Structure 1
Amino acid sequence: MVDLNKYQFENMEKVSDSQPSVTTVAMEGKTQKLSLKRELGLLGAVSLIAGTMIGSGIFMSPQSVLLSIGSPGASLVIWMSCGLLAMLGSLSYAELGTVIQESGGEYIYILRTSGPLVAFMLIFSSVTFARPASIAGVALSFAGYAVAPFYLGCTPPLLVVKCVAAAAIIVLATVNCLNVRFSMSVQVFFLVAKVLALIVIVIGGVVMLVRGHTENFEDSFKNTKVGINPIGIAFFQGLWSYDGWNNLNYVTEELKRPEVNLPRAVLIAIPMVTVLYLLVNVSYLTVMTPKELISSNAVAVTWGNKVLGSWGWIMSVAAALSAFGSLNGTFFSGGRVCFVAAREGHMPDILSMAHVHRLTPSPALIFTTAISLIVLIPGDFQTIVNFFSFTAWFFYAITLSGLLYLKIKKPELPRPYKVPILIPIVVLIAAVLLVLAPIIDDPQIEYLYVTLFIFSGALIYMPFIHYKVCPGGLKKLTVFLQLFLEVAPADKNL
C-alpha cells in the first residue's frame, strides 16, 4: 500500500511511478498553468448523480431483470436491493472523496492505496473499454427511443440507430468541451424532464391500482429463479440503471466544499432515484402482465400505448430525453478520469491539458469521444451491460479494499465524513459476489477474455510507464496538438 502521508493534504506529492513531463505552453512570453474551476454546487452535484443514474436503464432494463429473475415480486426485491447497494457504495465513496480530495474516482483512490500498477490496469480497461462502452450503451438506448416514433410497428434499422447515437455523442462532446456551466445547465434541464416523465408513469400506475388492477401482483413470487447466475445477471441489469452513483467522485476538484456537498448530494440523489425506480416498476407491472413486459422492446413505450393511447409516443420522447441527459453526465465525468490519469503520467501528456480560455479538459473529452465512436460500431446493448458491469464491479472491489485499508491502517487521516466500517465490508462482499457469481454458476469464455484484457494492462505498464519508453515523435505531436487545440497543462484544485 502507498503511504498517504506523503501527499496529504496540501502541497501533495505524486506517488505514481512517472511524473508527467508535460510541455507547458508559452503565451505572451509567460508560462501558464491552468486549473479547473470549482463551479459545481449542491444542485449541480445532485443533478450529476441523479441525472446520470436516471438514463436508459429504467426504460430498458425492467424486462431484462424480470426475465432473469422470473417473477414480479422478486424483480422488485432486486430493484430495491440494487438501490440499497448503490446507496452503501456511495456512502463509502463519500468518505474516500473527503479523505482524498482529488478528481478521478476509482483511479485516484486505487493509485493512492494500491499503487500505480493496479491503477494503470484500471485506467487502461476504463479508457479503452469500460467508459466508452458505457457511453455507447447509453447512446444506443437514446437513439433507439429517439427514432422509434418514426418506425411505428417495426424495428428501426440498426444503421439509423447507430448514426443517431454517434450524432448524440458528438453533440454532447462539443457541449462539454465548450463550457462547464453550460453542460451542467443541460444536466439540470434534462434531470427535471426525466423526473417529470417518471412521475407521469408513477401517477398512471397509481390510477390503475386504484381502479383495482392488482391481478399481476397475485402470487407475485411464483416462478422465481433461485440460483447464483440468474440473481447475478438480474443484479447486473438492475445496477446498470443505477450506474452513475459514483460519478461525483470523478469531479471532486470541481465541486464546491466537497467535504459537505459530496455526502449531501449522495443522501439526496440516490434515495430519490431508488424510490422513483420502485414506483415506476410497480406501475409497469400494474399496466402490463409479466409476459407483456418481458416481450416488450421498449417497456416505457408499451406502457404509454396502453395507458396514454394515441399520446403514447410521449414516453418514447421522454425516454430519449432521459438517456440524453444521462449521456451528458457520463461524458462530463468520463473525460475527467482520462484527464487525471494523464496528469499522473499514466496517459499521454496532451490528455492532461485544459483549454486556455474555457478551462475544460477538451483533449481528454475528444479522446473519449473517439474511442466511444469506435466501440459503438460493433456495439450490442445487452452485451455491453453485462461485461461493463463485470469490469466495473471488479475495480469497485479493489477500491473498497483500499478504503478498509485506510480505516484500519490510517485512522489518523482527517475525515470530514466517515461511515461505519461495516458498510464498505458489505459492499465489498457484494462486489466480489457480483464478479464471481456468473463465472462460477455459468462459465463463459467471454469472462475470461475480459479478465485477460484487464490484466493485459500490466504488459503495457512495464515498458511505457515504469521504464518510460517514449515512442519517437510523441513530444512533437504533443506540442502540435497543444497549439492546435489551444490547451495548456492544468494543476489540481487544492
Structure 2
Amino acid sequence: MEAGKNELRRSMGVWTGISVVIGTVIGSGIFFKQGQVLETAGGTTAGLMAWLIGGLITLAGGLTVSEVGSRIPETGGIYIYMKKLYGGFAGFLTGWTQVAIYAPAIIASVAAYFSQLFANFFGIPMTWTPLIGIITVVLITALNSLDNRIAGAFQVATTSIKLIPIAALVIFGIFFGKADALGQTVAHVTSTGSGNFGLAILATLFAYDGWATLANLGGEIKNPSKNLPKAIVFGLLIVILAYVGVTYGIYQALPANKIVALGSEVPYTVATQAFGQLGGKLIAIGILVSMIGTLNGKMLAFPRMVYAMAEEGVLPRYLKRINQAKEPIAALWTTAVLAMILIVLSGADWLSDMAVFVIWLFYAATFCGVFILRAKDRKQGITLDANTFKAPLYPLVPLVAIGGALFVLINTLIASFSMVLISFVFVALGIPVYYYYQFKNK
C-alpha cells in the first residue's frame, strides 16, 4: 500500500483502553513477587505500604503522561511525545530503545514465564519451554494481525478472567484468613536483606510497569484526548486496588515467615487452603490467562510504535506496511521475530530488568515534558479547551512522578551497575542508525 493510504482504524473505546492497561500490567508479578517484597520490606505493614506507595507513584506517572498524551493524541506513544518535546534525536533514541530492547525483551520474558508455567501445569518437560514460548508468540501475533477489534475483545475477555483469581485471593484472605495481616515481622533474613523499604517499593514499581504501552495506541482510540487519560487513570486505579487487595488477603491468610519461605508458591498455597487441590489448579489457570492477556496487550501496543517510526522514515519502509484489516502487519511480525530470537538466546529475567531500567529513563523525560508544555502555553497565551486532560494538583503530581522515576534509576544504578552500563551501550547503538537515516532522508 502507498504511504498515504496507511491509516490505522480508530475503533477502540475507553473500556478496551482500560483492559489494555490492566492486561499489560497485571501479569505474574502480583502473584510471584509477594515473598520478595515482604522479605525486603521486613514486615507485613511495611510490605502493604510498599505496594500502595508503588501504586501511587505509578498513578502519578499515569496522570502526568495522560496530560502529555491528551495534548499529543497520536500513534507512537512516548516516541512521539519525546520527539515533540525534545526533537528528533531524543525521539528516535526513545523509539529505538523500545524497538530494539524494551518491546522484544518484555514480550520474550512474558512468553518464557508463560511457557514455564504451562509446561509445569501439563507435566511437559522443561526442555520444551522455548518451543512453547515461540508457539505462544506466533499465535498471539496471528491474532493481532486480524482486525484490532478482535484483539481488543480478547484483551477485555482475558482481563475479566484474570480478575477472578485475584478476587478469590482477596475474598478468602479477608473473610476466612486467620493470620494478622498487619504488624507481623519477618524473622529470617536471606541474601536479599530485610527492612529495606526503598528496595521493596522498587520491586513493586517493576510489577506495576507496562501501563504506558496504551499510549502507543493513541491513533486507534476514539476521541483520544478524552479517552486515553480515562483509560490510563481508571485502569491504574483498578490495578492498585487489585495489588493492595491481593497483598492484604495473602497476609491475612498466611503467616509472614511462611509467605517468604513459599516464594512463588504463595498463591497456590492460599488457593489450595481455601478450595482444595481444585482451587490450586484454578489459580494456575487464572495466572496462565493473566499472562496470555499481558502478552496480547503488549503485542497490541508495541508494534504501533515501530509503525509510527517507519512512517516517519527513520526505520525501514517495509515496517509501515498494513494489511487489509488495517493492522501494522510488518511491524507486528518483526517485533515477534525479535522476541522469538530472545526466547532462544537470552535470559529473560536479566533482559526484562534491563528493559525496565531503560524505559524509566524516558519516562522521567516524558514526565518533565508537562512543565515544558505548560510553560509554552503561558508564553504563547494559550488556553486549553475542556477536552484536554490536565494532571491534578499541578505541580505536585508531576513532581511525584519524576521523583519516582529518579528513585528507580538511582536504586538500579547502585544495585546493578554493570547492567546499567550495558543498557547504555544498547541505547548508544541507535546513534549511528539515527544519523544513517538523517543522511538517507536528505
8 Å contact 1:236–1:386 — kept in the other structure? no
The match for 1:446 among 419, 424, 431 is 419
Partner of 2:172: 204
Deviating more after overlay: 311-320 vs 378-387: 378-387
**Shift of residue 362 of structure 1?**
0.7
Whether 1:321 and 2:293 are equivalent positions in the alignment is: no
Aligned partner of 2:204 in structure 1 is: 238
- Count of matched residue positions in the alignment of Structure 1 and Structure 2: 429
Matches within 5 A, 1:337-376: 337-355=305-323, 357-376=324-343
**Counterpart in 2 of 1:407?**
374
Q: 1:303 aligns with which of 251, 265, 270?
A: 270
The 3 A distance-change label for structure 1 pair 185 and 260 is: same
Tell me the secondary structure at the aligned position of residue 322 of structure 2: strand
2:81 corresponds in structure 1 to: 109
Distance 1:203 1:379, change over 3 A: farther
Which residues of structure 2 form unaligned runs of 5+?
A: none
Letter of the aligned partner of 1:270 in structure 2? L
Report deviation, 1:326.
Answer: 1.0
Asked if structure 2 preserves the Cα contact closer than 8 Å seen for 1:130 and 1:392, the reply is: yes
Question: Structure 1: which amino acid aligns with 2:166?
Answer: L
Tell which deviates more after alignment, 367-376 or 394-403.
394-403
Shift of the alpha carbon at 1:373?
0.7
Tell me whether 106-115 or 243-252 shows the greater mean CA deviation.
Answer: 243-252
Could you give the per-residue CA deviations for residues 72-127 of structure 1, whole angstroms, max 9, x where no partner exists?
A: 22221111112111211111111111111111111100011111112221222211
Larger deviation, residues 371-380 vs 185-194: 371-380
**Match among 153, 172, 195 for residue 185 of structure 1:** 153
1:36-67 superposed Cα distances (whole Å, 9 cap, x missing partner): 11100121111111122222221222233224
| DSSP-derived class of the 2:264 partner | coil
For normalisation by structure 1, the TM-score amounts to 0.81
1:34 maps to amino acid: N
> Residue 248 of structure 2 aligns to which amino acid in structure 1?
V
Q: 2:4 and 2:366 mapped to 1: Cα distance?
A: 34
Structure 2 residue matching 1:467: 3-state secondary structure: helix
Same amino acid, percent of matched pairs: 26
Equivalent residue for 1:435, pick from 409, 414, 419: 409
Q: 1:465 and 1:282, CA in 2 relative to 1: closer, same or farther beyond 3 A?
A: same
Instruction: Pick one of 414, 418, 426 that aligns with 2:390.
Output: 418
Paired residue for 2:253, among 272, 277, 287?
287
Report the alpha carbon displacement of residue 220 of structure 1 after superposing the two structures with TM.
4.0
2:136 to 168, 171, 190: 168
Deviation, 1:200, is 1.1
Match for residue 19 of structure 1? none
One-letter amino acid of the structure 1 residue matched with residue 115 of structure 2: A
Secondary structure of 2:440 counterpart = coil
Where does 1:209-224 land on structure 2 (aligned, <5 Å)?
A: 209=177, 212-214=178-180, 217-220=182-185
Residue identity in the other structure for 1:191: T
Q: In structure 2, the residue corresponding to 1:417 is in which secondary structure?
A: coil
Q: 1 or 2, which has the higher helix percentage?
A: 2
SS at match of 1:50: helix
Whole-angstrom CA distance in 2 between matches of 1:114 and 1:122:
11
Partner residue, 1:86: 58
Q: Distance in 2 between matches of 1:280 and 1:336?
A: 32
Shift of residue 299 of structure 1? 3.1
Q: Deviations over 1:183-237 (max 9, x none)?
A: 011001111101122111111112323xx332x644448778455xx724x3443
* 1:383 equivalent in structure 2: 350
Q: Do structure 1's residue 95 and structure 2's residue 67 form an aligned pair?
A: yes
Distance in 1 of aligned mates of 2:79 and 2:49: 31
Task: Name the amino acid aligned to 2:106.
Answer: S
Matched letter for residue 375 of structure 1: L
Residue of structure 1 in register with 2:28 after alignment: 56
Whole-angstrom distance in 2 between the partners of 1:204 and 1:185: 30
Match of 1:456?
A: 429
User: Is 1:262 aligned to residue 228 of structure 2?
Assistant: yes
Could you tell me the TM-score, scaled by structure 2's length?
Answer: 0.90
Higher CA-based Rg: 1
Is the counterpart of residue 134 in structure 1 residue 106 in structure 2? Answer: yes
Match status 1:277 vs 2:243: yes
Contact 2:254 2:270 (C-alpha < 8 Å) held by counterparts: yes
Paired AA for residue 108 in structure 2: A
The question of whether the paired residues in 2 share the 8 Å contact of 1:107 and 1:122 is answered with yes
- Cα distance 1:397–1:250, how it changes in 2: closer, same or farther (>3 A)? same
Runs of 4+ with deviation above 6 angstroms: 221-224
Report the CA distance shift for 1:132/1:67 in structure 2 as closer, same or farther (over 3 A): farther
Is the CA contact 2:44–2:185 (under 8 Å) kept in the aligned structure 1? yes
* Alpha-carbon separation, structure 2, partners of 1:308 and 1:314: 9
Q: Is the 8 A contact 2:39 2:186 kept in 1?
A: no
Query: 1:418: how far off?
Result: 1.0
Q: SS at the partner of 1:246?
A: helix
CA distance in 1 between counterparts of 2:4 and 2:411 reads: 51
Distance in 1, matches of 2:356 and 2:313, equals 27
CA contact (8 A) 2:119 2:126 kept: no
**Alpha-carbon contact 1:287-1:307 (below 8 Å) kept:** no
